[in-house]
Structure formats: C-alpha cells, structure tokens
Amino acid sequence: MDVYDITIIGGGPTGLFGCFYAGLRGLKTKVIDVLPELGGQLTALYPEKYVYDVAGHPKILAKDLAKNLATQAAIFKPALCLGEKVQLIERIEHEGEMTWKVSSDKNENHLSKTVLLALGAGACVPKRLDLEVPAEWEDESIFYAVRSKERFRDKDVLIIGGGDSAVDWANEFSVLANKVTLIHRRDQFRAVQSSVEEMKRNKVNIKTFYELKDLHGNGQVNEAVIFDNRTGKEETLKVDALLINIGFVINLDFLRQWGLEMDKNAITVNEKMETNLPGVYSAGDIAAHAAKLKLIATGAAEAATAVNFAVTFINPQAKLYPGHSSNLNLSI
C-alpha cells in the first residue's frame, strides 16, 4: 500500500490550495472529500455567488474560483478520492515507522506520513424550516442554496436570514427577480455592513422583526404567512420562491473521537497550524487560534504554513522556507 507524504481531508478552497502547495514542496499528495466534486461550499452552496475578497480578483464567481483552484491543485497530479467520507484517523506502525491510517466509509485505508484537516465548517447541513412542507416543494420552490440564479428570474422571492448569504442574495436578486422580500427576526444583521447598506439602497423589501409562520401552495409555494415577533401581527405575501439562509447544524463529535483538542466548533492549532496530534495539521474555517479570521485568503495562508511545517516534520533536515515560487524551475 502506498504511503503518501500528506493526505488532505477536504477539497474546498483551503484544501485545494494546500494540495497545490504540497506539490510545490515536492510532497506526494492525496485529497479526500465527501462531496462528489471539488470546491467545497464554493460549488455545493453558492456557485453563482460572487466572491470579492480573493487577492488578484476584483470579483469572481464562486464556481469559477473553485475551478481555478482545482486546476491549480491538479498541476502536480495529486491522488483524488471524491465522494468518500473519512471516518477515522489513527496512528499505526507501518514497516517500522509511525504512520497515519485514514479510514473511510468505502472501506478504504489510506496511509500518510502527515495529515492536513481542511474541513471548512465541518460536517454541516443547512438549518431546515421548522414547518411541515411537501417534500416535492424543496429544490423546486424552497431552496437552501442557490445553484442557478436563473431559477429566480422574474419571480417573487422571499429570503429568510440576516447573514452574508441572505443579504448578498437579496442584492443579487434585486436586479433579477420581480420582487425581493427579506425577513429577519431582529433588526441587527450579521452580514458585512457595506452589503447591508447596499441592500437598503436596492429594490429589496426589508422586514425586520419578522418570522415565517406558514406556507401555502399547490404543487409549489404560492404564499407565505409571516408575523411580527413583537406584536404577533400577520401578513401574507405572494411568493414563487423561498430561500432559507438561517445557518447550519454542525456535528463535530467525530473529531473529538479522533482525539483532537477542540475549541468549541473548531480544531485547536498553534502558530505552525499543528494540532495536538503529531503530524496532523489543520487550516481554514475548521482551525482555531488566537488571531483567527475566517476568510478564503487567510485559509490559503494557513494551508501554506501547515504544508511547510509538514515538510520539516517528514524530514527535519529540510528547509522550512521554500523560497519564492518565481525562482523555482517549474514546468507548468
């Protein structure tokens, strides 16, 4: 069985850049991801959404950013295992050396000298409606992610939520849909303030202190009953499409079972991106440290840091600093 230098668990932006950087450092690399395609949340949740805070891109569609990252990661021909859920990592002795065994739901055992956990937000699923609705309504008129903006064109759209995704989609749909209403259960938004101000300028009907009470329809959603949570006053809206962006349910118990030290819903790391397990690193949203910023840009930097220290873990005589990539003789 092949032993890889580094196995990256997670095929989102942090994992993909880590994969490229590992190839840059000459490491034999494998990537494992539970999703059937690379890109993580960029492709699974908001492929049609613009990303504005990636260096070198004034704005770029999430799906295009994912494609670029996957193309970059493929340069050094890593092994890819998609649609495969990691169930356990454990330290074993293999041919006289301590090695990490990564076991999956496909009865596969992957051997690796080091492991990089780039799991994004972890094993999370969107929070669902607290309503009984016909199953056929979901992905037809009730959505938890936007796979295609065209499905909302010229429709009366109701968005529920107050975070970045809800506000960003309200802004996107303001020039695409017939009418956009956003309801939020309080008057403070978690989204970036500049996006909130933009939403206030756009053609968005913003209703704070409102929540969803009921949905009516025949084959799909036709009406939504909302209510003011201060007074109980109800209002019925004509709705063709409902987008719910109210957060995620996260289950990270499996990480604790692996023996990882956790800080709430994240893996504790030091300045080297090391976890408490020898040879196991973490980067991106799933990693927690004192100066944490959950951004794609910082995730890439954390991945590079983790890979460089993984190089010295594998070979203590190796240089930590690889030099500038422009000075390397790469046939790319």
- Which CATH number covers residue 236? 3.50.50.60
* 253 and 176 assigned to the same domain: no
Domain boundary among 246, 266, 292: 246
Helix, strand, coil percentages in the chain from 3-state DSSP, rounded to 5: 25, 35, 40
Instruction: Enter the tokens of residue 170.
Output: 């309200």
Which candidate, 196, 210, 151, 198, places its Cα nearest to that of 177?
Answer: 151
The mean pLDDT of 259-272, rounded to a whole number, is 94
pLDDT score, position 1: 79
- Of 246, 271, 300, the residue that ends a domain is 246
Q: For residues 49 and 80, state if they share a domain.
A: yes
Residue 312: per-residue pLDDT? 97
**Parent domain of 58:** 3-124+249-327
Nearest-angstrom CA–CA distance, 74 and 77? 5
pLDDT tens digits for range 280-311: 999 999 999 999 999 999 999 999 999 999 99
Dist CA 206 CA 214 (whole Å): 19
135 within some domain = yes
* Residues 23 and 91 occupy one common structural domain: yes
Where is 303: in which H helix or E strand?
A: helix 296-314
Count of domains for the chain: 2
Residue 326 has pLDDT above 80, yes or no: no
Give the pLDDT confidence score for residue 331 in this predicted structure.
Answer: 56
Give the per-residue pLDDT at 122.
Answer: 66
Is residue 332 in some structural domain? no
For residue 231, is it within any domain? yes
109 vs 327, higher pLDDT:
109
Residue at a domain's end among 214, 246, 278: 246
DSSP assignment of 104-154 equals ETTS-EEEEEEEEE--TT-SEEEPPPSS---GGGBTTTEESS-S-GGGGTT
Mean pLDDT of the chain: 92
Question: Does 106 share its domain with 159?
Answer: no
Quick one: average pLDDT of 238-242?
A: 96
**64 and 157 assigned to the same domain:** no
- What is the number of alpha carbons within 13 Å of residue 181 lying toward its C-beta? 22
Nearest CA to 174 out of 148, 200, 151, 193 is that of 200
Residues 256, 306, 266: CA angle, nearest 5 degrees:
30
200 and 268 part of one domain = no
Confidence of residue 332 (pLDDT cuts 50, 70, 90): low
CA distance linking residue 138 with residue 293, whole number of Å: 33
Is the separation of the CB atoms in 93 and 99 below 8 Å? Answer: yes
Nearest to 42 by CA among 114, 122, 145, 143: 145
